[in-house]
Amino acid sequence: MAQFQEVLKQSSLHPKPAGLVLQYGTAGFRTNAKQLDHVMFRMGLLATLRSKKTKATIGVMVTASHNPEEDNGVKLIDPMGEMVTPAWEGYATQLANAEQEDMLTALKDIIEKETINMSQEANVFVGRDTRCSSLSLSQAVLDGVTAVGGHSKDYGLVTTPQLHYMVCCQNTEGKYGEATVEGYYNKLSQAFIRLAKNAPNCTDDQKHLCVDGANGIGALKVREMESLLKTELQISIFNDGTKGKLNYQCGADFVKVQQKPPTGILMNTGERCCSFDGDADRIVYYYVDSEEQFHLLDGDKIATLISTFLKELLTQAGLDLKIAVVQTAYANGSSTDYLENTMKVIVRCTKTGVKHLHHAAQEFDIGVYFEANGHGTVLFSKAAEQKIQQLANDPNTDDERKRAALLLQNTVNIINQTVGDAISDMLLIEAILAIKGMTVQQWDAIYTDLPNRQLKVKVLDRRVIDTTDAERRALSPPGLQEAIDTLVKKYRKARSFVRPSGTEDVVRVYTEAETQESADALAHEVSLAVY
Ligand code: 16G
Ligand code: ZN
């Protein structure tokens, strides 16, 4: 067919280096940008097939998130704005790894397996982060879409969650919102202003926030939105990309892993600050106290704040909706203990990676999910949204219940339910703190984190480590879990697990214990056991 001739011709302009093997991992393909041109072109092809198959718009985001500037990556977004299904992750790996002369066969294989009607229309949304390599790589994606007869829309520079949002808006015919960046800003800022109006006593000091944009796309996008928020929130943006290097000694991942402030930010004692990661799908908060002590409020603290707020509103509204918090093995033990025993909410633990948390959160009326690293959001079931809306619109609802229902309704609107979103999470957190009249110190004091440590260990083959129980226990290699158990017993309140990274060629080690010294010592000992 002429169509396939065109694919072949175009594909030769995006040749695959022979022998290169890459894997569609937890967050798509991710490696040095120089190795990705053929992958991008082929993901353009695959997204078009996925679009034909689902008869819906599919998203392709070019980013390597918190990884170094030199890296890049690509991720497919399914029709409701969620991660692409596992079978298609497999196709992505096959198609990316087919040698140049086998590429067409690999493509035809997928068409056949999925019985794709090639005359079906296809539509693909493409977005990219601020990396130097992203422009040409996103062009390669667009070339792939065109080569196989798809339509594309290039959103240019957007955050990852913005592109997820656009895909969802497009496929729900505007019910979720308008599929434009302006539509996104308007929906979120309106909900934020409405929420903030419930905090009339908020002082100017409390309305100020420092944002570390990781020298990435988040800084750009907050700047575009700033004027819509400024009556209720004044933002000082640091690391906005004009001077520093992307993710270099700044950003949410740096702050979380190093447990220290990013460079490039001016922080006054006690001031509320937050950091985004390179594609703005993660956020963590922090402050420095009068003793120069750094305090981190990570994804666990965020989940606690949000779920407490929602649970209180549900009680005030008299709504019987089941709320749960979904975490991973990295969740600080103190947070799990507080959520289960003090707040009495259901807590679930899943494997690392957004798709696992997202999936688990969908099982509840309201599912709050956060990874400790700051990636998370809230999902509301359709039924929950309807009940909230009914109550908010019911003329017979008394004032207190109505206020709670309206707050819930605006929370539904402020949150990006497709994926974790630093901007949307930031606005919700800011609104909650304002409404509750809570300082960052009071939020921090809800519970005290157990001291913890994360390390990475280079090994020959990380795949020899196999885990179970949501990555909390190692099944293989034999003896490893027993060794960890023995080490953990030496320390008070200790816990540790190891897991192969899904994004880097390393094994990750996590420990927590009663003191930082113990957590550090245990981390060191467990690392040695991994070798
Ligand atoms: C990816 C995941 C993130 C996870 C991280 C773990 C998505 C969109 N992102 O960045 O959720 O925390 O990988 O990385 O799923 P690791 O496997 O290298 O520890
Ligand atoms: Zn990210």
Question: Where does the chain hold its CATH 3.30.310.50 domain(s)?
Answer: 452-530
Query: For every one of its 531 residues, what pLDDT tens digit does the chain have, with 9 covering 90 and above?
Result: 678 999 999 999 999 999 999 999 888 999 999 999 999 999 999 999 999 999 999 999 999 999 999 999 999 999 999 999 999 999 999 999 999 999 999 999 999 999 999 999 999 999 999 999 999 999 999 999 999 999 999 999 999 999 999 999 999 998 999 999 999 999 999 999 999 999 878 888 889 999 999 999 999 999 999 999 999 999 999 999 999 999 999 999 999 999 999 999 989 999 999 999 999 999 999 999 999 999 999 999 999 999 999 999 999 999 999 999 999 999 999 999 999 999 999 999 999 999 999 999 999 999 999 999 999 999 999 999 999 999 999 999 899 999 999 999 999 999 999 999 999 999 999 999 999 999 999 999 999 999 999 999 999 899 899 999 999 999 999 999 999 999 999 999 999 999 999 888 899 999 999 999 999 999 999 999 998
- Taking alpha carbons only, the member of 40, 36, 282 closest to residue 142 is 40
**Structurally, what CATH architecture does the domain formed by 183-296 represent?**
3-Layer(aba) Sandwich (3.40)
| Residue of 152, 160, 15 whose CA lies nearest to 96 | 15
> Distance, CA 471 to ligand 1 centroid (Å)?
13
User: What is the distance between the alpha carbons of residues 365 and 320, in angstroms, rounded to a whole number?
Assistant: 9
| CATH 3.40.120.10 domain range(s) in the chain | 2-157, 183-296
Question: Has 403 been labeled as part of a binding site?
Answer: no
CATH topology of domain 299-415: Alpha-D-Glucose-1,6-Bisphosphate; Chain A, domain 3 (3.40.120)
**Is 189 known to be catalytic?**
no
504 lines ligand 1 (CB under 6 A): yes
| CA nearest neighbour of 87 among 105, 109, 102 | 109
Tokens found for residue 427:
């606005």
For the chain, the farthest-separated pair of C-alpha atoms sits apart, in whole angstroms, at 71
- pTM tops 0.95: yes
Residue 143 labeled ligand binder: no
* Contact assessment for residue 335 and residue 327, using Cβ atoms and an 8 Å cutoff: yes
**Cis peptide preceding 17, ω within 30 of 0:** no
- 65, 138, 307, 496: which one is catalytic? 65
* Residue 200 counted as an annotated binding residue: no
**C-beta separation of 383 from 369 below 8 A:** no
User: Which long-range contacts does 182-185 make (Cβ < 8 Å, 24+ apart)?
Assistant: 185/224, 185/225, 185/228
Which residue has 């895909």 as its token pair? 167
The reply to whether ligand 1 has any atom less than 6 angstroms from the CB of 467 is: no
CA atoms of 54 and 526, how far apart (whole Å)? 46
Q: How far is the CA of 251 from the centre of ligand 2 (A)?
A: 10
Closest C-alpha among 525, 522, 471, 529 to residue 501: 471
Pocket test for ligand 1, best of 375, 455, 509 (most atoms within 8 A of CB): 375
Give the contacts of 470 (CB within 8 A, at least 6 positions apart): 328, 329, 349, 350, 351
Its ipTM equals 0.98
User: Which residues, in sequence order, are bridge partners of residue 125?
Assistant: 59, 153
CATH topology of domain 452-530: TATA-Binding Protein (3.30.310)
Of the options 3.40.120.10, 3.40.720.10, 3.40.50.150, 3.10.105.10, the CATH number for the domain spanning 2-157: 3.40.120.10
